[in-house]
Structure 1
Amino acid sequence: MVKGIEIRDAHFPGRAPIDAYGNGGFRFADMSHRGSILCLPSGIHGWEPKTLPILTAADLSLVLEQASDIEILLVGTGTELRRLPQELRDVLRAHRISSDPMSTGAAVRTYNVLLAEDRAVAAALIAVD
């Protein structure tokens, strides 16, 4: 019996710096991904926030599942800085995660620096064109 193509959730099982961003995606670890990503202790995951441009706790459920390994969450909000809703900031704070929204470009650069310093950092990065 011939097996068809198996579609799996996008996931790179390791921590890696982001080499490039733009054109609707990201490059990292000699790979590329089209769309938004979550950079977490468990690896880099494809991510489709459901409530853009406003993020909710449901959009960051995978972040909250790994909260014990995350101190700082950088949120790349696209080309423009957007504040996180107070309700989301409260949920993150309850999980002892400091959140820092910024443009996606700034978040990528900051993530790479903190990752190189071996900090407990995660990033939610919205793809930009």
Structure 2
Amino acid sequence: MMTDIETPHLPRPALIDAYGNGGFRFGGMSHRGSLLCFPDGIWAWPVTGLSELTTSSLEAAFARAERLDFFLIGGGRDPWVLPERLRDRFARASLTVDAMPTGAAVRTWNILLAENRRVGAALIAVD
């Protein structure tokens, strides 16, 4: 389930202005569905729930690991724990990961982006 990393939805990072109703608002646009956010752009991400969170669906993060200091995963409305297999994969990539509800991940993304930090985020859309 690799995302097309050649075609970003937005070719730059942007603050997330709003989330909910199954999508996000950022960069003067509205997107329905989940997102992968990086310093080099924002992509549509086909993941709709935690059961689809795999090393394959996160491959774009691992491919950028050397250019990131932090990676956030917003997994929906409720707190959750990152499965050990994924935690191990992030550790092998030497990439610090934090799992949290989508709202907290959006707020953390915005803060770290405003601080010019090298951050990435996988944000699962919530209703």
Q: TM-score, normalised by structure 1?
A: 0.88
Q: Partner residue of 1:40?
A: 38
Any unmatched runs of 5+ in structure 2? 1-6
Contact 1:54 1:84 in 2 (8 A): no
Moved over 3 A (4+): none
Question: CA 1:51–1:102 in 2, change beyond 3 Å: closer, same or farther?
Answer: closer
Distance 2:35 2:65 in 1: 17
SS of alignment partner, residue 59 of structure 1: coil
Q: CA deviation at 1:41?
A: 2.0
Choose 1 or 2 for highest CA Rg. Answer: 1
SS of alignment partner, residue 58 of structure 1: coil
Question: CA 1:48–1:100 in 2, change beyond 3 Å: closer, same or farther?
Answer: same
Give the residue type in structure 1 aligned to 2:41.
Answer: G
Q: Does 1:90 align with 2:101?
A: no
SS of alignment partner, residue 110 of structure 1: helix
Q: Partner residue of 1:80?
A: 78
1:56 corresponds to which of 54, 57, 71: 54
Distance 1:27 1:95 in 2: 30
SS of alignment partner, residue 11 of structure 1: coil
Identity percentage of aligned residues? 51
CA RMSD of superposed structures (Å): 1.8
Contact 1:67 1:95 in 2 (8 A): yes
Contact 1:14 1:41 in 2 (8 A): yes
Q: Partner residue of 1:22?
A: 20
Contact 1:12 1:44 in 2 (8 A): yes
Q: Does 1:127 align with 2:125?
A: yes
Q: TM-score, normalised by structure 2?
A: 0.89
